[in-house]
Amino acid sequence: MTLTRPNERTALVLGATGLIGSAVVSHLLDDPDYGEIRVLARRAYPMQHPKLRVTAADPLTLSEQGHLFRVSDVFCCLGTTIRKAGSQDAFRLVDYTLPLEAGKLTGENGGLNFLLITSIGANPRSKVFYTRVKGEIEEAVSKLPVPGIHIFRPSMLLGKREEVRLGEVFGGVAMRIGAVFMGGKWKKYRPIKAETVARALVWVAKEGVGGFRIYESDTIEDLGHR
């Protein structure tokens, strides 16, 4: 099924209060091809718009929210850090269990595209817990019955977060300086703006390319500037 007429597409954004998720919502609201944007949030959502539909619920109740997944495109921008989550088990819940449940619900409700944010270096056989979990969720969702499954692996994200992460602040400065010298095979390690990632996600969803696809950070950068 191809959706081309204005206001014919619909979307659900998970992780809509995060750095990438909030940018995705903004772009979707401005896009005339989308008639309704759904958001699942555990607290009051800061945006208001005629096309925006906010459901107040804990993401842990995702399995009970199947009706929200009757949309064209599901943007899964869920993610945390081990420090913020408090434990490896809590991290796995947010970065593996919930995205996998979201992917299953997308398939069960006839979604066209499931778009998932993971991370550069994602590898199910990595010795690093963070990148291993990211690789495991990529592997798990690749088997789901969704026409288009799109994995985005951004490098260090640039943008204004609600909480300040000092390591990312200093790291971002160093990476921006070093980016000048990152070419060739190192290009994908350049820091990338969350806004650019968001634009790439929306572009890919509307392009309607099926199958299982992975986009490294340098490709995301190119797509986000189309």
Exposed (0-12), middle (13-18) or buried (19+): which is 70, by Cβ within 10 Å? middle
Mean of pLDDT values over 172-195: 65
Phi/psi of residue 69, each to 5°?
-90, 5
pLDDT at 186: 60
Q: Are 164 and 130 in contact (CB under 8 A)?
A: no
pLDDT at 173: 44
pLDDT at 1: 44
What HEC string does 158-222 produce? Answer: ECCCCCCCHHHHHHHHHHHHHHHHCCHHHHHHCCEEHHHHHHHHHHHHHHCCCEEEEEEHHHHHH
pLDDT band for position 220 (cuts 50, 70, 90): very high
Has residue 162 got a pLDDT over 70?
no
pLDDT at 178: 47
The superfamily (CATH) of domain 9-224 is NAD(P)-binding Rossmann-like Domain (3.40.50.720)
Has residue 38 got a pLDDT over 70?
yes
Q: Which of 2-6, 16-20, 70-74, 189-193 has the lowest mean pLDDT?
A: 2-6
Q: What distance in Å separates the CA atoms of residue 185 and residue 163, rounded to the nearest whole number?
A: 32
Q: What is the pLDDT of residues 103-139, one digit of tens each?
A: 999 999 999 999 999 999 999 999 999 999 999 999 9
Q: Are 31 and 24 in contact (CB under 8 A)?
A: no
Q: Give the rounded percent of residues in the chain with a pLDDT score beyond 90.
A: 77
Q: What distance in Å separates the CA atoms of residue 50 and residue 35, rounded to the nearest whole number?
A: 9
Q: Which of 39-43, 78-82, 149-153 has the lowest mean pLDDT?
A: 39-43
| Length in residues, the chain | 226
pLDDT band for position 177 (cuts 50, 70, 90): very low
pLDDT at 188: 79
Picking from 34, 93, 19, 18, the residue whose alpha carbon sits closest to that of residue 63 is 93
Has residue 26 got a pLDDT over 50?
yes
Mean of pLDDT values over 164-185: 48
pLDDT at 44: 84
